[in-house]
C-alpha cells in the first residue's frame, strides 16, 4: 500500500523558535522539512526594533545545522511605542516580512502588546502605505468575554472596524480556530488571509478535556468545538488561496506545561507534515496539500514557491516519532495526534 506524494517544499507561516538551548533543540526539526518560516517575535524581551530583529535573525542563522537550507522570515512585535520609521526601514531593507499584533495579555509573553490600537495608529498607517502585512493574534482579552468566544468577539469588535478604518492594510488572521474566523477571512472584502495550525485541524476541545485534562493540548487560541474543527478542515483542504499553514509550533518544556498553571503552546514542528497528509487524505484532498502548505503562503507574501521538493510516502508501518525531545534544560513533548501516522517524510 505504498503511496508517494511529492510537493514543493513547504513553509511555515507562524512559528515560535525561542532562543538559547530551546532554539538549538527545535530549529533542526523545522529546517528538516520547511524552507522558510515566519518567526514569532515574542521572546523575553520581545523583538521590537529592527536592531532586535537583525540580532535574532543572526542567532537563528548561527544555530542552523551545517547542511540546512532554511530562511527565517523575521517579524517585529508591535508595541504602543513602536517607531513607524524603524518599521518602514526594516521592511525596505528586506529584514522583516511582517509585523505582529498581540493584544496585550492575550497569550504567552504578550505583556508588551497593544492595549489600544489608536496608540499604534501611525505604525499601522505606515504599514498600509508601504504594503507591509500585519499578522494578528485575533483574540480580545477582556475579562468578561468567555475564552471560547474571544476570537469571534475580536472579529466583530476589533478586526472588522480596523479593516474598515484602514482598508489598505494587509492582514493575516493567524491560527484561525472558529467557523466565524473562516467565514470572515473567506468572505471579507480587501486584502486578508488566514493561517491554520496543525493541531487545530486534528483536535477539538473534547480531546483536551474528556477523560482528564491534557496540558499538551492547551494552546491559545484555545481549541474549540468539533464543528469548528470541521470548518477549519474544510477550509484548509479546499485549497482556497486565502488559507495556508502556520503551525504555531510553540515549544514549552514539560515542567512548564505539566503544572498547576501550565503555559499555552503545542510543539508540532517535527510531525506536522505527517499530520497534514493524514488530514488531507481523510478529506480525499491530498491534491490540495501543496496549495495549503507550499503555494498559498508564498503567493500571499509575494514570494516565489520553493524550487526544492518534499516527498511523502504512505507505508503500512507508522512513523516512529519520538514522544519527547530532550533539550539541555529538560524534556519537551511532541504533539500527539492520538493515532498512528503513516505518512513518512523522505528527507
Ligand atoms: C504561543 C507561545 O507559546 O509563544 N502559545 C500558543 O499557545 N500558541 C503564543 C501564541 O502564539 O499565542
Ligand atoms: Zn503563536
Nearest to 282 by CA among 206, 227, 201, 345: 201
**pTM, entire model:** 0.98
| Length, in residues, of the chain | 347
CB 237 within 8 A of CB 288: yes
What Cα–Cα distance (Å) separates residue 88 from each residue in 13, 52, 149, 154?
A: 21, 15, 34, 27
Rounded to whole angstroms, how far apart are CA atoms 252 and 17?
10
Report the separation in Å between the CA atom of 221 and the middle of ligand 2, taken as the mean of its atom positions: 9
E strand spans, the chain: 3-8, 11-15, 36-39, 71-77, 96-101, 134-136, 171-173, 192-196, 243-245, 309-314, 324-327, 330-333, 343-346
Nearest CA owner, ligand 1 atom 6: 265
By three-state DSSP, how is residue 53 classified? Answer: helix
CA-to-CA separations, 209 to 108, 142, 147, 205, 225, in angstroms, rounded: 21, 24, 15, 6, 11
For the chain, the domains span 3-345
Q: If 0-12 CB within 10 Å is exposed, 13-18 middle and 19+ buried, where does residue 162 land?
A: middle
Distance 1 CA to ligand 2 centre (A): 36
Count CA atoms closer than 13 A to 120's CA, side-chain side.
Answer: 24
**Using CA atoms, how far apart are residues 162 and 114, in angstroms rounded to an integer?**
14
Instruction: Kindly give the distance from the C-alpha atom of residue 3 to the centroid of ligand 2, in angstroms, as a whole number.
Output: 33
Q: Which residues surround ligand 1 with Cβ inside 6 Å?
A: 16, 42, 107-108, 137, 219-220, 248, 250, 264-265
Q: What are phi and psi of 215, to 5 degrees?
A: -65, -25
pLDDT at 311 (0 to 100): 98
The count of other CB atoms within 10 Å of the CB of residue 192 is: 21
d(CA 208, CA 257): 13
Set 11, 12, 248, 336: catalytic member = 248
Sign of CA dihedral 119, 122, 125, 126: negative
| Ligand number with the minimum distance to the CA of 138 | 1
* Alpha helices, H only, 93-217: 121-130, 150-154, 160-165, 179-187, 198-202, 205-209
What's residue 281's pLDDT?
A: 98
Residue 137 C-alpha cell reads as 493574534
248 flagged as catalytic: yes
> Residue 249 pairs with which residues in a beta bridge?
15, 266
What spacing in Å lies between the alpha carbon of 264 and ligand 1's midpoint?
Answer: 6
The pLDDT, as a whole number, for residue 62 is 98
Second-level CATH architecture of 3-345: Alpha-Beta Barrel (3.20)
- Which ligand number lies closest to the CA of residue 223? 1
Q: What pLDDT, on a 0 to 100 scale, did the predictor assign at position 1?
A: 62
d(CA 296, CA 36): 13
Divide the 347 residues of the chain into consecutive groups of 10 and give the mean pLDDT of each group. 92 98 98 98 97 98 97 98 98 98 86 92 98 98 96 98 97 98 98 98 98 98 98 98 99 98 98 98 98 98 98 98 98 98 94
Atom of ligand 1 nearest to the CA of 265: 7
Q: Whose CA is nearest to atom 9 of ligand 1?
A: 108
Amino acid at each position: 500500500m505504498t503511496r508517494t506524494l511529492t510537493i514543493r517544499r513547504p513553509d511555515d507561516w507562524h512559528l515560535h523558535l525561542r532562543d538559547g538551548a530551546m532554539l538549538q533543540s527545535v530549529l533542526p526539526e523545522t529546517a528538516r522539512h520547511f524552507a522558510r518560516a515566519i518567526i514569532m517575535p515574542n521572546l523575553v524581551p520581545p523583538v521590537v526594533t529592527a536592531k532586535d530583529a537583525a540580532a535574532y535573525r543572526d542567532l537563528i542563522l548561527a544555530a542552523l545545522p551545517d547542511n540546512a537550507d532554511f530562511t527565517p522570515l523575521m517579524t517585529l512585535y508591535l508595541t504602543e511605542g513602536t517607531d513607524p520609521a524603524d518599521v518602514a526601514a526594516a521592511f525596505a531593507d528586506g529584514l522583516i516580512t511582517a509585523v505582529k499584533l498581540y493584544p496585550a495579555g492575550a497569550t504567552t509573553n504578550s505583556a508588551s502588546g497593544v492595549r489600544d490600537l489608536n496608540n499604534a495608529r501611525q505604525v499601522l498607517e505606515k504599514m498600509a502605505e508601504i504594503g507591509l502585512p500585519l499578522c494578528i493574534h485575533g483574540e480580545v482579552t477582556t475579562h468578561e468575554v468567555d475564552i471560547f468566544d474571544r476570537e469571534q468577539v475580536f472579529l466583530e469588535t476589533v478586526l472588522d472596524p480596523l479593516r474598515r478604518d484602514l482598508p489598505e492594510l494587509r492582514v493575516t488572521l493567524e491560527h484561525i480556530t472558529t467557523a466565524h474566523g473562516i467565514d470572515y477571512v473567506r468572505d471579507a472584502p480587501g486584502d486578508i488571509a488566514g493561517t491554520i495550525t496543525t493541531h487545530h485541524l486534528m483536535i477539538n476541545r473534547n480531546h483536551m478535556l474528556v477523560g482528564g485534562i491534557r496540558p499538551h493540548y492547551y494552546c491559545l487560541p484555545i481549541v474549540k468545538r468539533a464543528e469548528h474543527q470541521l470548518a477549519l478542515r474544510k477550509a484548509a483542504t479546499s485549497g482556497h488561496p486565502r488559507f495556508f499553514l502556520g503551525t504555531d509550533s510553540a515549544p514549552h518544556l514539560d515542567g512548564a506545561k505539566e503544572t498547576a498553571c501550565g503555559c499555552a503552546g503545542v510543539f508540532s514542528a517535527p510531525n506536522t507534515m505527517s499530520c497534514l497528509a493524514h488530514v488531507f487524505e481523510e478529506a480525499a484532498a491530498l491534491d490540495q496539500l501543496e496549495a495549503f502548505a507550499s503555494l498559498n503562503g508564498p503567493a500571499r507574501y509575494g514570494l516565489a514557491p520553493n524550487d526544492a521538493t518534499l516527498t511523502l510516502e504512505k507505508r503500512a508501518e507508522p512513523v516512529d516519532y519520538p514522544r519527547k525531545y530532550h533539550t539541555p534544560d529538560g524534556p519537551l513533548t511532541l504533539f500527539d495526534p492520538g493515532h498512528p501516522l503513516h505518512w513518512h517524510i523522505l528527507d
